[in-house]
Amino acid sequence: MKDPSLRLVLISTPIGALGSGRGGGVELTLRSLAQGLVMRQHQLTLIAPRGSQRPVGCDAVELVEVDGVDQPSWQHASEAASVEIPRNAVLPRLLDAALQRADNADALLNFGYDWLPLWVTPHLQQPLFHLISMGAVTTVMGEAIEALGRWDQRRLAFHTARQAADFELPNPPCVVGNGFNLEAYRFQAATGGPLGWAGRIAPEKGLEDAALVAVALGERLLVWGLLEDETYAAAVEAAVPPGTIEWRGFLPTEHLQRDLGACRALINTPKWNEAYGNVVVEAMACGVPVIAYDRGGPGELIVPGENGLLVPPDDVSALADAVRRCGDIDRSDCRRWAERNASQQVFSRRVEAWISAGLAADGNITALK
């Protein structure tokens, strides 16, 4: 017997148009999940800021574009920051557009990390689920997620257990990981390439430590990512010898995976509790081992000796030593780990099971197998 199809309304991040890069890893997560759910024959409506792009392969997905001012990211807010909703903000308009279509849907799925969607959830007749994309970066957001967890934790899912541990929840968390279209990442077996680093160019990503590793090893460091903080980038470059950093910019997946796959190792240096670590898995999908601080999501994704190596957080010397040893890792094992744990298919099945179980508990739909 065929499993029933879900009718889902996906609510994109309010930080920027889907495809702009301003939404960071949430954009990649949403795009990949939409593609996976379409392959599993679910019916989707995507609510996103004006200028958004429909994910490739999702021609049947209804894209509803909403005008409004981008929401500030909580990522760089102080711990005591208050809730802020700009004048003419896109966030409430995204919710309004989603609720207008909720009567014809089984559930709404929110990707935006913000206070308003969390607060409104218990007040809605329509079931609203949340894929939480960050840890407890501020007190008010931590409290909002914990309050919703006390009301009905089945509405919450997290990328990693380490991320979920930021919150006091009444029950063990639902961890769904993340997923990627692995067909878009070509495995490269060569082991003698340069060192790489990828991510938003911002202080919490710790690029300066990776640059110091390159200096210690007398090598250059290829850097990919959205330039979010120009002052920070200039300071990192000024602190190392000229030519140490080679800026490669923010590239589409097709070009990123080609260049990243030629590296002999990806250095990952989070200074905060990274919820997952998309670039970690993107590198593994290309066969590139990842050398990372044992902090946040990357510390949960890396199996030492199989797909990378972990070192104590903020220990640059240990990071350099681990890079020297990365040649012992079989690059095909990196790819196999990604196929087992982080494919589009694996991710979409986990999310499907989470939402279906929550709906079944509400009496709305029979749980999928």
pLDDT string in tens for the chain (369-residue length): 345 799 999 999 999 999 888 888 899 899 999 999 999 999 999 999 999 999 999 999 999 999 999 999 998 889 999 999 999 999 999 999 999 999 999 999 999 999 999 999 999 999 999 999 999 999 999 999 999 999 999 999 999 999 999 999 999 999 999 999 999 999 999 888 999 999 989 999 999 999 999 999 999 999 999 898 999 999 999 999 999 999 999 998 899 999 999 999 999 999 988 999 999 999 999 999 999 999 999 999 999 999 999 999 999 999 999 999 999 999 999 999 999 999 999 999 999 999 999 999 764 433 332
Query: What is the per-residue pLDDT for 107?
Result: 98
In a domain, residue 172? The reply is yes
* pLDDT score recorded for residue 23: 85
Strand-strand pairing, 156-158 and 290-293: unpaired
Three-state DSSP class for residue 228: coil
> Is 279 among the domain residues?
yes
Both structure tokens of 82: 């208050």
Using the structure block, give the residue that is written with the tokens 């330039």.
227
Euclidean distance between CA atoms 156 and 146, whole angstroms: 10
Q: Residue 87, CB half-sphere, CA atoms under 13 Å: how many?
A: 0
**β-bridge mates for residue 195, sequence order:** 221, 265
Whether 97 and 11 share a structural domain: yes
Measured in whole angstroms, how far is the alpha carbon of residue 366 from the centre of its chain? 29
- Its domain, for residue 238, covers 182-341
pLDDT at 22: 84
Pairwise CA distance, residues 28 & 37, whole Å: 14
Domain count, the chain: 2
Q: What is the CATH number of the domain that holds 352?
A: 3.40.50.2000
Contact 166, 144 (CB under 8 A): no
Residue with tokens 């998309």: 278
Examine the domain organization and report whether 127 and 213 are in the same domain.
no
Q: How far is CA 20 from CA 14, 40, 43, 44, 174, in A?
A: 12, 27, 25, 21, 29
Contact 288, 334 (CB under 8 A): yes
Quick check: is 2 in a domain? no
Whether pTM > 0.85 for this model: the answer is yes
